[in-house]
Amino acid sequence: MIDYLRLSQLDDVLEMLWAEGPGILMLAGGTDILVRPQPFAGARILLDISRVEQLRDIAVDPADDCLVIGAAATHEEVAWHPQVSRRAQLLAQACRLVGSAQIRNLGTLGGNLGNASPAADSVPALACLDAEVVLSGRNKQRRLPVLEFFTGPGSSVRQPDEVISSLRLPRQRGRQVSFFLKAGQRRGMCCSKASVAFRARSHSDGRLSGVRVALGAVAPTVVRVPEAEQVLEGRRIEPRLIDEAAAACSRAARPIDDIRSTAEYRKAVVGALLTDGLFRLGDKMKQRRRPRRRRPR
Amino acid sequence: MSWLDSRRPRYDAADKVTGKLLYPSDRTMDGALWVEVVRAAHPHALIRNIDTSRAEAAAGVVRVLTAKDVPGLNAFGIQVQDQPVLCHDRVRYQGDAVALVGAESRRAAREAARLVEIDYQVLEPLTDPERAMAADAPALHPGGNILHQGHFSKGDIEEGFGKSAVIVEDVYQVPMIDHAFLETEAGLSYYDGEVLVVESCGQYVFRDQTQIARSLGLPLDKVRVTAPFVGGAFGGKDEITVQIHLALMTYHTKRPARMVATRAESIVSHTKRHAARMYYKTGASRSGKLLAVQARFVSDTGAYASLGGPVLNLMMEHAAGPYLVPHFQVDAYAVYTNNGFAGAFRGFGCTQACLAMESQMERLARALRIDPLRFRQMNVLHQGDLAALGYPMKLEVGAEATIRSARRSKLWRNRRALRQPPASYGPSRRRYIRRGVGAASQMQGLGLGIGIPDYAEVEIELAPGPRATIKAGTTEIGQGAYHAYILEAAERLGLEPGQIRVVGADTGRTPDSGTTTASRTTYAVGNAILLAAGRLEQELGRRAARRLGWPAGAGKLRDGGFTGSGGWVALDELLAGQRVSARATFHVPVQDVEMGDGLPHLLYSYGTHVALVEVNTLTGEIRVVRLEAHLDGGQVISRTGFEGQSEGGIAQGIGYALFEEVRLDRGRFVDTNFDKYVLPTSLDVPVDMRTVPVMVRDSTGPFGAKGISETCMVGPTPAILNAIEDAIGVRFTRLPVRAEDVLQALREKEKKDEG
Ligand SMILES: Cc1cc2nc3c(=O)[nH]c(=O)nc-3n(C[C@H](O)[C@H](O)[C@H](O)COP(=O)(O)OP(=O)(O)OC[C@H]3O[C@@H](n4cnc5c(N)ncnc54)[C@H](O)[C@@H]3O)c2cc1C
């Protein structure tokens, strides 16, 4: 048997975690927990944090101009929030591809991280956006780059008395271009067999800088691919570079065979997804650079 | 005003969406026991001992039943009773039932089920049907492992190939798939006085009644079975599921009993679509005449017979599609293995054969450089022609009309332009995104075929109001049949649909209208409604003579009244507060040649499907962009229902082509839920679906109607495979076609093209 407890104040949650830490299983949307074969294994208290308003806010912190997204915000809330669309289109795009409408209405960003699946769709996007995870405990708080949070499939550096309270996304300068693409067993309601997130600043001459590439579901955790990023850094998108960057992604992938796909396919498809995304982006950028002819009045 | 071909909301829609209508899984009763089935722990094993003592002693347990508690025949099966109600000496698949636990709660039943101790001697499972066919393979049943075989030849196959300018030969492989009906197997049983009632989820209450009575050793009139509304089946509930188990528990405890299968239990236990290996060789002349079709089928029927024989017969019957072929040979085997068990599933053997044959037709057309639909049209069967198996097509044949309709469609006419991805894809993407258009034609036997009793009896009662009640023994299984009956009756009785209701599927209250399968109900029950209406009119004629002094003679029901020798009189006036009813039985007409169980048919529906697909050659992902169905179901009764059937069929066809496969590992089910058994979602089904009715009226059908509920799912799969070949030049011969397969095939092709 397990006790169920729903709290609405963050302080109470932190107090509870401090007192009962290891026996607590936090529940946000429950979309990961409740489908496990033994949902509550090893826990004494199921602590529902989905109604903690302080964990659901999405707002810009005036102190450092970061976009702060509460960990209990749902994928649907994140996907359609105007500030997210303006400042972190890449994250909005990833959240829109999570599961189905039902899953997005329940599932949260914090849960996506807390579950620590290498296939979590928000994570490659967050990694490319240089996001930091904020972990809070009673009288303590720490921040770390999102990828440092994960230590392997299903495991993270979170201490039993900590909650993921928010994600902080720094403001990006200049014109941003990005994409998130995933390959699944079908087009909706599916986990990624592999995913790719990409972000860069685009300059007026078509060159890219600050390139970020991250891969999901092809290694024990989400990984960045510095080799692919360097290929594109300071360059324009062109077929030869796309091939090189895609090859770097395939090399960086350390996938496994499982029920959803094969390691071989995953290795190939991460490169393919990056290629597809870059070709699309390249075409779009070219179109934009081409001076538009004025229509005669 | 005519109600035919109308678009009206289904009469049961509001009750279904508001939850007012109760399904079998919703039904319960005070004091009902929960029944849990203890299923085989191994796909193939001998049972040495069953010890129920610990389970019996568990809290909340009322009764534990095993084979020795089956008072009658401990076996069931639609055709051959080879499946034990409860196994006592041997289990042959993972879903085999060994014991039943009846307890006060579901939880207690489940926990006790784990305490039933069964001592097995595990045997090696037989998993490859071609190996199971070998003479030295261990036999799963006394008669050996070949459940059924069929052989037929016409003309001289070697001569046919000798004359052929092009020959295509290949092996096609289709997987076992699940029906994925929404409501799992469920029911409630109880005693009503002396009569044991089973409210169940089956597709034919009268046959279920027989099977229950036989296993319980009861006379038929002591068993009553109902199943008016069921949450989907697609053939998967044609065979017995929960019925006998429920009845057995109530029989022994005298208490109501209830079952609702979990999804895992459902997937493991019920029938599946037959996996099959299909060896095909086809030849055509230079001018495009189909000369020879040779086919060999090995279908995996799993552990028990169910309808494996008739399914194989339909594969044979449809092996050459709706085409004229002078030289034809088919050899077919349905083989027992320990891979679950297979049976009826929408399409019933045509699905498999059509996939292979329509792939062959496409490849012949390509080899001959003839427009693939024109090639089909050049060879299509017409009324009076001899079908592949040598019997004449006596009734109207709509095959050509559906091909013409498809050829006229924009999708087909513009197919060259449509192969270009849209401009919005941008110049780079347009180089590696490929599109293609493919088609497939098929026919599908309607009704049970010759040799299997196929009739429908209905009763119509007219009451003051005026109101009419149709009593029919078939099940409303989600397909919309009752809605069709209402429209057919409204049309014939001169009433409004709102004045008519249906009482369905109850062996205690409705006549036997036959099975809810084989695309037959709108046709067979509809015809019976017309016959019964004729009898009503005779009776009303007599009444008019008696009451109104009209000259004797029949008349016509029309405009809410009766038109006879004395003019028109309102029904209410003629009925004068009384009810009038009439019964009639329609016998589905059959061929005069008999070639085996259900082989062949007299009636067929026809269809041609056209698919536009897109392949991302980088990722291997396939998307169906557009799908058109040109279907001949004769006169359409309900347009809403017609389109609903067609669109559902398209979705199911897409699932078969791209996603679905019941994976077994040494006879064990790998995926037992819909998280891993991949079904198409709404995003995988094109927004752009078009259903074109091609109404070639059938001279034997009610208002010229036939059924289309299977034809509509058979064609989409081969049309998609043909479209994929059009897009990327790769022929797939194995389902499902996944992105992984596409990428690998493209690599191999690249190597070949280079080398
Ligand atoms: C049908 C289906 C489809 C899915 N499709 C996708 C998909 O396409 N992409 C994808 O990425 N995921 C998918 N998922 C997985 C899941 O929906 C997501 O991971 C979701 O974000 C989980 O959020 P949740 O709030 O429901 O987590 P929960 O189930 O509530 O929790 C998950 C884990 O995180 C912990 N946790 C939750 N919140 C916090 C917190 N604030 N601090 C610390 N720990 C916390 C919990 O204790 C638990 O261990 C799918 C799931 C289902 C059932």
Q: Does A9 reside within a domain?
A: yes
**Start-end of H helices in B582-663:** 639-654
Q: A171 burial class (0-12, 13-18, 19+ CB within 10 angstroms)? A: exposed
User: Which amino acid is it at B107?
Assistant: R
Distance A108 CA to ligand 1 centre (A): 6
Q: What is B24-123+185-260's CATH number?
A: 3.90.1170.50
**Given this model, what pLDDT does residue A292 score?**
59
Residue owning the nearest CA to atom 19 of ligand 1: A112
A283 contacts B429? CB cut-off 8 A = yes
Q: Same domain, yes or no, for A111 and A217?
A: no
Dist. CA A234–CA B705, nearest whole Å: 69
Residue B39 burial (CB count, 10 A): 18
CB nearest to B426's CB, from A260, A265, A284: A284
**B296 in contact with chain A, both atoms CB, cutoff 8 A:** no
At residue B261, does pLDDT exceed 80?
Answer: yes
Across A30-51, average pLDDT: 95
CB A88 within 8 A of CB A129: yes
Q: Same domain, yes or no, for A136 and A203?
A: no
Residue owning the nearest CA to atom 11 of ligand 1: A120
Q: Report residue B1's pLDDT band, with 50, 70 and 90 as the boundaries.
A: confident
Looking at the CA of residue A108, tell me the nearest atom of ligand 1: 25
Asked which of A128, A153, A169 is the last residue of a domain, the reply is: A169
B746: Cα separation from own chain's centroid: 35
How do residues B167-225 score in pLDDT, each as one tens digit?
999 999 999 999 999 999 999 999 999 999 999 999 999 999 999 999 999 999 999 99
CB B585 within 8 A of CB B528: yes
Give every CB contact of residue B446 below 8 A, 6+ residues apart in sequence. Answer: B518, B519, B520, B523, B601, B603, B604, B605, B706, B707
Q: Same domain, yes or no, for A159 and A208?
A: no
Q: Which residues of A touch B (CB under 8 A)?
A: 35, 100, 183, 185-190, 259-262, 264-265, 268-269, 272-273, 275-276, 279-280, 282-284, 287
Q: How many helices and strands (H and E) does chain A possess?
A: 10, 14
At residue A173, does pLDDT exceed 70?
Answer: yes
Residue owning the nearest CA to atom 25 of ligand 1: A29
- Average per-residue pLDDT for chain A: 96
Across B512-528, average pLDDT: 97
At residue A296, does pLDDT exceed 70?
Answer: no
Dist. CA B611–CA B603, nearest whole Å: 27
Give the pair of three-digit tokens for residue B664.
């077994």
Q: Same domain, yes or no, for A253 and A127?
A: no
What is the CATH architecture of B455-587? 2-Layer Sandwich (3.30)
- Average per-residue pLDDT for chain B: 97
Q: Report residue A294's pLDDT band, with 50, 70 and 90 as the boundaries.
A: low
Q: Same domain, yes or no, for A159 and A185?
A: no
**Residue A154 belongs to a domain with what CATH number?**
3.30.465.10
At residue A1, does pLDDT exceed 90?
Answer: no
A67 lines ligand 1 (CB under 6 A): no
DSSP state of B272: B
Question: Where in the sequence is the domain holding A51, given as residue range(s)?
Answer: 3-169
Q: Does A158 reside within a domain?
A: yes
Across A94-123, average pLDDT: 98
Q: Same domain, yes or no, for A38 and A184?
A: no
| Count of domains for chain A | 2
A259 contacts B671? CB cut-off 8 A = yes
How do residues B522-564 score in pLDDT, each as one tens digit?
999 999 999 999 999 999 999 999 999 999 888 999 999 999 9
How do residues B374-409 score in pLDDT, each as one tens digit?
999 999 999 999 999 999 999 999 999 999 999 999
A113 lines ligand 1 (CB under 6 A): no
- CA-based nearest residue in chain B for residue A273: B619
Q: Same domain, yes or no, for A143 and A118?
A: yes
A99 lines ligand 1 (CB under 6 A): yes
Dist. CA B662–CA B341, nearest whole Å: 12
- Cβ neighbours of A189 in B, within 8 Å: 681
- CA-based nearest residue in chain A for residue B622: A186
Is residue B514 left, alpha or beta, with left meaning phi > 0 and alpha meaning psi from -120 to 50?
left
- CA-based nearest residue in chain A for residue B679: A186
- Cβ neighbours of B684 in A, within 8 Å: 186-188
Question: How close, in Å, is residue A77 to chain B by CA atoms?
Answer: 21
Give every CB contact of residue B264 below 8 A, 6+ residues apart in sequence. Answer: B672, B673
- Give me the percent of chain A exceeding a pLDDT of 90: 94
Closest CA to B274 of B353, B359, B330, B357: B353
At residue B48, does pLDDT exceed 60?
Answer: yes
Across B11-22, average pLDDT: 95
**Given this model, what pLDDT does residue A295 score?**
61
Dist. CA B194–CA B196, nearest whole Å: 7
Q: Same domain, yes or no, for A79 and A193?
A: no
Q: Same domain, yes or no, for A194 and A146?
A: no
Q: Does A295 reside within a domain?
A: no
B621 contacts A183? CB cut-off 8 A = yes
Asked which of A116, A142, A169 is the last residue of a domain, the reply is: A169
**Residue A212 belongs to a domain with what CATH number?**
3.30.390.50
Distance A29 CA to ligand 1 centre (A): 7
CB A274 within 8 A of CB A243: no
Q: B455-587: same fold as B343-364+371-447+595-754?
A: yes
Dist. CA B496–CA B419, nearest whole Å: 48
**B423 in contact with chain A, both atoms CB, cutoff 8 A:** no
A187 contacts B684? CB cut-off 8 A = yes
Q: Same domain, yes or no, for A114 and A188?
A: no
In Å, what is the CA distance from B521 to each residue of B16, B138, B472, B526? 21, 41, 10, 7
ipTM reported for the complex, 2 dp: 0.95
Q: Does A153 reside within a domain?
A: yes
A188 contacts B681? CB cut-off 8 A = yes
Q: Does A40 reside within a domain?
A: yes
Distance A113 CA to ligand 1 centre (A): 7
Q: What is B343-364+371-447+595-754's CATH number?
A: 3.30.365.10
- CA-based nearest residue in chain A for residue B671: A259
Residue B685's φ and ψ, nearest 5 degrees, are -105, 130
Asked which of A121, A151, A169 is the last residue of a domain, the reply is: A169
B743 contacts A265? CB cut-off 8 A = yes
Q: Same domain, yes or no, for A25 and A143?
A: yes
Q: Same domain, yes or no, for A23 and A159?
A: yes
Q: Where are the domains of chain B?
A: 24-123+185-260, 343-364+371-447+595-754, 455-587
- Give me the percent of chain B exceeding a pLDDT of 90: 98
At residue A293, does pLDDT exceed 70?
Answer: no
**Given this model, what pLDDT does residue B406 score?**
98
